[in-house]
Amino acid sequence: MNRRNFFAGAATAVAATTVSRVSMAALPEPVTQSSTATAAPLVPPNGRPYNPVVTLNGWTLPWRMNAGFKEFHLVAEPVVREMAPGFKVNMWGYNGQSPGPTIEVVEGDRVRIYVTNKLPEHTTVHWHGQRLPNGMDGVGGITQPHIPPGKTFVYEFTARRPGTFMYHPHADEMVQMAMGMMGFWVTHPKENHPLIEPVQRDFCFLLGSFDVEPGSATPKVNTMTDFNIWSFNSRVFPGIDTLNVRRGDRVRIRVGNLTMTNHPIHIHGHEFEVTGTDGGPVPRTARWPEVSVDVAVGQMRQMEFIADEEGDWSLHCHKAHHTMGPMGHEVPTMIGVDHKGVAEKIKKLVPDYMVMGDKGMADMGGMEMPIPDNTMPMMTGAGPFGSAEMGGMFTLLKVRRDQKPGDYKDPGWFKHPAGTVAREVPGAAVPPATRNAPSQNNSSNTDATVRKPSGARNH
Ligand SMILES: [Cu+2]
């Protein structure tokens, strides 16, 4: 090394140190989002290019480049999240929303994330699934001191492997996650990857659960399993945007579960393969076709398929209680019970008393029953043929031949070709079942013969 090069090298080293100190003093301006609309994908303005994801009813956090680092600024803070039109919940989140913004980087990126704590208690951020130095893992008390209220900490690591990740507190975790603190993280591959296909549409959302008593606005954080609000990205049907794609697109849907139970996510009209988990891409020999995938607590799954069937296809959790709005679960089953006389008597004492469900609960879908302020209807969502009788973890995959590449706008309801909708058969009406239907009442008259495996007979 000659003298000139030596001094040039030394000058560069000094400059880098100086920039680093300056950057610590001057944090990136935090970006806040107040809208619950699905933001347009954030096409990277610098750094290595990639095909950005679409965060359902969410957004991607902008960054700045600083001396080779991608710098982000997360602000942990109380937020008000509108979970569906007119239904607002006091949550904790990041940068104005729950969930926090999606962080998107490229494999190999050096990442610096400032975290400012505006909560009333301490917090940390755990980068779920990442390979990183142990001290950057975000476990309060174990790998770092907690971030006190009012303070800013910085995390630095290299995004070493591509895939689907999330972030959440590892401090007073039960409370902070029950309040909505979570966010998505996607690391795109830096070049063509043998197990990561290019896709035309790439969606992501987190599964959430909240316990918000009808008429109130703050989640009950001590609830363990009996939640009453089941959400995609802290939104509930009909407040969840639809996934709008062009026929023939290869579609990837990334889902992470930070609730207290598992969710079998089910897609109508198509089969998908799980191409990746939070542990990385799935080897091709380990993929199989399915139409539901169970996403267990703390897991992430990437579903991929070719959207080759036009229509409005349901995409939902298959636990039937998770596609309902707020309801009590101790309600007795009244199917087949004639309780009208009793109800009249109770109404004299309790004027608001409602009779529910002697023929099932479908009536609730269209019923305009009085509900407390700031409460979602239990089963709702008008479709072109009536009420969808859904709530919670439910939305639609809309596949259209004329959806333009890159266009994520809702194309409206599907126009079914003539003769392709299930229809009534004229003249074949039968009377509905009643509570005195003979089929429910004949067991006492039946003389059953039971043949035991041994061959002995009992009457
Ligand atoms: Cu579920």
The residues, any chain, with a CB within 8 Å of residue 48's CB and separated by 6 or more, are 106, 108, 109, 190
Q: What is the dihedral of CA 6, 9, 13, 18, to 10 degrees?
A: 100
Helix (H) or strand (E) holding 71: strand 69-84
The whole-number mean pLDDT for each consecutive block of 10 residues of the chain, a chain of 459 residues, reads 39 40 70 94 94 97 96 98 92 97 98 98 97 98 98 98 97 94 97 96 96 88 87 94 98 96 97 97 97 97 98 95 72 68 72 63 59 69 84 94 95 96 88 63 48 46
Residues 393, 238: Cα–Cα separation, whole Å:
9
Domain boundaries, the chain: 25-194, 331-374
Residues 105, 164: Cα–Cα separation, whole Å:
11
CA of 300 to the centre of ligand 1 (A): 14
Residue 441 is predicted with a pLDDT of: 47
Residues 374, 372: Cα–Cα separation, whole Å:
6
CA of 177 to the centre of ligand 1 (A): 17
CA of 322 to the centre of ligand 1 (A): 5
CA of 262 to the centre of ligand 1 (A): 6
Residues 156, 136: Cα–Cα separation, whole Å:
7
CA of 79 to the centre of ligand 1 (A): 24
Q: In the CATH scheme, what is the code of domain 25-194?
A: 2.60.40.420
DSSP state of 300: E
Residues 61, 50: Cα–Cα separation, whole Å:
15
Residues 64, 277: Cα–Cα separation, whole Å:
29
Q: Write out the DSSP string of 192-233.
A: -BTTB---SEEEEEEEEEE---TT--S--TT-SS--SEEEET
- Radius of gyration for the chain, computed over Cα atoms and rounded to the nearest angstrom: 27
CA of 297 to the centre of ligand 1 (A): 11
CA of 25 to the centre of ligand 1 (A): 44
Distance in Å from the first CA to the final CA of the chain: 102
Structure tokens at 250: 């290869």
Residues 259, 298: Cα–Cα separation, whole Å:
8
Report long-range pairs for 93-96 (Cβ below 8 Å, ≥24 apart): 93/179, 93/180, 93/181, 93/234, 94/181, 94/183, 95/30, 95/31, 95/32, 95/33, 95/61, 96/32, 96/33, 96/34
Residue 382 is predicted with a pLDDT of: 80
| pTM of model > 0.85 | no
